[in-house]
Chain A
Amino acid sequence: MKLIIFAGTPGSGKTSIVKHVIEELKNNYKLFFAKFDCLKTEDDKFIAERYKIPTVKKIAGELCPDHYTALEIPKILKENQDKDIIILETAGLCLRCSPYVEEGLGINVLDVTSGNPSRYGPILTDADVVAISKGDLISQAEREIFRANVLIVNKKATLVEVNGLTGEGSTDIIEAIKSSLEIKTKKLTLRHSMPSAICGYCYGNKIIDEAAVQRKYLAGKELKNLVPNLNCGKCGFKSCNEFIRAVLDGKANKDQCPFIKEKLKIK
């Protein structure tokens, strides 16, 4: 099994490229497509209908979409052991992160009109393939300058110029996918750590004030020690952190978590 992760800022052309790649691969490989997004997407349905492959939609909601992706990857892999290639498209909000894994192939779709590549973090610097999109909008000279700038921050990447409308360049991406390695280990490793997310704001604080943040953080931490951190979903929320926020916001009761209920009973 191969795991292919497409990351890139919104509107960079990830989905268009993914469609061309699926079109080319679907007849020879058993594919699975997972689409991550923050609030809403219909791409999973569209791709399932057009290319007749199984897909899933993953909405991060209150969680950081990249953290959420990392949380969900093991589940996706477990449920799709029979597949040859799993294509995962991230929500692509953050330049700081990238949920690329050591064992899979990381593809960054990078919009050529999006400014100097030096402002991008791991999403670009850790990618195996950098698919430069929208090159047809600018001059040849600027494209060449852009390529050179990408190579300054990521020397090892394979650069491909892609066009989401015509599918130009997807052959090179497919080439990279075919020659990428199969996943052999059970546990995957992130190429880059996620940003630390351990303040009161992460637990839903809205008042911009040191004391308020601190209070919310401590209240959250207390619950964090009680929950199992398994994201089992038995409380009705898709992750423990969301459940904690709901409790702090008064929208849920701690008892909803069977583990907390058990612990409270023992006491």
Chain B
Amino acid sequence: MHEAIKKITILPGINKFGEKEKFEKIEIKKGEIVAIVGPTGAGKSQLLYDIEKLAQGDSKSKRIILVNNKRVSKKLRFEPKRKLIASLAQSMNFLTDISVKNFLSLHLKARGKKFDSKLIKEVIKEANEITGEPILPETNLLNLSGGQSRALMISDVANVSISPIILIDEIENAGIDKEKAMQILVEEGKIVLIVTHDPVLAFNTDKRIIVKNGGIVKILKTTLKEKGIGHYFNWIGNYSLEIREKIRKGEEVDEIKLFCEPIK
């Protein structure tokens, strides 16, 4: 076992034109969420890649990623059995024809852990807090809806995956409570980096890294006002989820909620 990851630090590299990035360092601590924003082709994925590979000045961008203020050994970077980083990509499709419960136990096994029915229950319970349509342990993986798949995957990454750093690349977020999803990830003490332009996700962060022409150009601390705006959008999203469930159940909807609950 290596020591626990408490913090990662990004040291500047170069942009597409070979110019040095204008920041001293970016520190991201355990339990923090950071958004990465910028136009297509600006270098968002490269930044995720640098973090995923714990780049040591050897990637295109020449950035250096420190873990707990230290350079990272080659052994740790390329160790095949351990992955420090879990990445949630855009697609969350499943291929295995198996029940949710058995799938989770398979994943536990792949992670070198023992069968743990309590943990499996917890994963499903937390997934159900993110999605409107409840997932049952016996549900077949292939029959999950898009929202259910995403919810299950987020809960799985938070609870089963041992990776302390989670990279999320433009996650499809229809059918899930986004704020709740982030909360679950952060509660488990993960470092979360997310490429997104969704107001709920981008404002439900500690800071935003702005990327342009292959380089980091600005770091914005998320303001209280922005957090409020994000919360408002999340409320709208959840309200829409609620109505969606009513439609699914064949109910009539004859009232509209106009006011969002204030931030807790």
Chain A residues with CB under 8 Å of chain B are: 113, 135-142, 144-145, 147-149, 151, 157-159, 166, 168, 171-172, 175
A200 to chain B, nearest CB (A): 40
With A113-B95, A140-B87, A168-B49: A147-B110 Cβ-Cβ less than 8 Å: yes
Known: A141-B156, A166-B45. 6 other contacts (CB 8 A): A136-B89, A138-B93, A140-B86, A147-B83, A157-B80, A159-B80
- Is the Cβ of A158 less than 8 Å from the Cβ of B157? no
For the complex formed, measure the closest distance between the CB of A232 and the CB atoms of chain B, giving whole angstroms: 45
Question: Taking the nearest CB of chain B, how far is it from the CB of A87, in angstroms?
Answer: 21
Q: Are B95 and A138 in contact (CB under 8 A)?
A: yes
- CA–CA, A140 and B86, complex, Å: 7
For window 34-73 of chain B, which residues contact chain A by CB distance below 8 Å? 45, 49, 53, 58-59
Chain A nearest Cβ from B79, distance in angstroms: 10
A139 x B149 contact (CB < 8 A): yes
24 contacts between A and B (CB under 8 A): A113-B95, A136-B89, A137-B93, A138-B91, A138-B93, A138-B94, A138-B95, A139-B92, A139-B153, A139-B156, A140-B89, A140-B153, A141-B103, A144-B83, A144-B107, A147-B80, A147-B83, A148-B109, A148-B112, A157-B80, A166-B45, A168-B45, A168-B49, A172-B78
Complex Cα gap A149–B111 (Å)? 11
Given A141-B160, A144-B161, residue A135 in contact with residue B49 (CB < 8 A): no
Q: What's the dominant secondary structure at chain A's contact region?
A: helix
From A140, A157, A171, residue with most partner B Cβ within 10 Å = A140
Cα–Cα distance between A4 and B49 once the two chains are bound (Å): 25
Specify which chain A residues have a CB less than 8 angstroms from the CB of B106 in the assembled complex. Answer: 145
- B residues whose Cβ falls under 8 Å from a Cβ of A: 45, 49, 53, 58-59, 78, 80-81, 83, 86-96, 103-104, 106-107, 109-112, 149, 153, 156-157, 160-161
Instruction: Give complex CA distance A166, B95 in Å.
Output: 23
For residue B142, give the distance in angstroms from its CB to the closest CB of chain A.
Answer: 12
Max chain B Cβ within 10 angstroms of own Cβ: one of A139, A168, A172: A139
- Give the docked Cα–Cα distance between A172 and B74 (Å): 11
CB contacts (< 8 Å) of A141 on chain B: these are 103-104, 107, 153, 156-157, 160-161
Residues of chain B contacted by A135 (CB below 8 angstroms)? 89
A142 and B95 form a contact (CB under 8 A): yes
What are the 3 tightest A-B residue pairs by CB atom distance, in nearest-first order?
A148-B110, A145-B110, A159-B80
Beta-carbon contact of B111 and A144 below 8 Å: yes
Shortest beta-carbon distance, B161 to chain A, in Å?
7
Of residues B80, B87, B94, B111, which shows the largest number of chain A Cβ atoms within 10 Å of its Cβ? B80
| In the complex, chain A residues whose CB is within 8 Å of the CB of B88 | 140
Which residues of the other chain, A, contact B111 by a CB distance below 8 angstroms? 144, 148
Chain A residue at minimum C-beta to C-beta distance from B112:
A148
**Structural contact, A158 and B93, CB atoms closer than 8 A:** no
* Minimum C-beta distance from A151 to chain B (A): 7
Q: Give the distance in Å from the alpha carbon of A159 to the alpha carbon of B49 in the complex.
A: 16
